[in-house]
Every structure is written in structure tokens, then in C-alpha cells.
Amino acid sequence: MTDRTHVSPIGYLATLLALLALSVLTLALSSLALGAWALPVALLIASSKAILVALFFMHLVEQPAVNAFVAITAVALVAVLVGLTVADVVTRSASP
């Protein structure tokens, strides 16, 4: 491995600035009344931040693809668990 493949301090700084900007955006959006859109938008921004942290702070970008495969599998399983649990509740009929 050469230094060329490593994330540089500039890369970390750019990641930090993006994370701070997205957090400020989350705060700004939460003060608006987005109604039903508030949750999906907040989750989308949080996911973008998580991807930035995983790729650059956790160095996924410079590691073999198999490491990303583990992370993606975990996230997919979380999506299945959360998705089906919520789908169960929202699709129940009002009367038993």
C-alpha cells in the first residue's frame, strides 16, 4: 500500500465540513413544517452523513470491496427489519 491510496488530511477536512453543513441543514429543515416529509428527509440526510463517515473516516474507500460488502449486507438487513416492522403496523386494519 502506498500513501497515494490513503485518505489525506484534506480529505478528512472536506468530510468534516460536509458533515457539519449537513447537520446545520438538518437543524434548519427541522424548524420548517415539512409535515410527512420531515422524517424521510431527515433520514436521507442522516444516511448521506453515515455514508461519508464510512467511506472516508472509516477508510472504506481505500479498503477491499469485501469490507464494503459486509457493511452493505448489514444495512440491507436493517432495512428489511425496520421496513417490515413498520409495514406491519401501517397496514393493519382498524378493527380486529
Partner 1 sequence: MRAPGLADHFADLPTQHHAARLGMWVFLASELLLFSGLFAIWGAYHARYTEAFVRAASVNTIVLGSTNTFVLIISSFVVALAVWAMRSDRPRLAFRGVVITASCGLGFLAIKGIEYADHIEHGLLPGAWFRSDELHGHGAVVFYTLYWFATGLHALHVTAGVAVLAWIAMRIRRGEIDAVNPIALELGAMYWHLVDIVWLFLWPLLYLVG
Q: Which residues bind partner 1 (CB under 8 A)?
A: 1, 3, 6-9, 12-13, 15-16, 19-20, 23, 26-27, 30, 38-39, 42-43, 45-46, 49-50, 53-54, 56-59, 63-64, 66-67, 70-71, 73-75, 77-78, 81-82, 85-86, 88-90
Q: How far is the CB of 95 from partner 1 (least distance, A)?
A: 16
Decide whether 27 or 96 has the Cβ nearer to partner 1: 27
Helix (H, G, I), strand (E, B) or coil at 70: helix
Q: Which three cell numbers stand for residue 45?
A: 440526510
Round to the nearest angstrom and report the end-to-end CA distance of the chain: 62
Q: How far is the CB of 96 from partner 1 (least distance, A)?
A: 15
The residues, ordered by sequence, that sit 6+ positions from 15 with a Cβ below 8 Å of its Cβ are: 52, 53, 56, 57
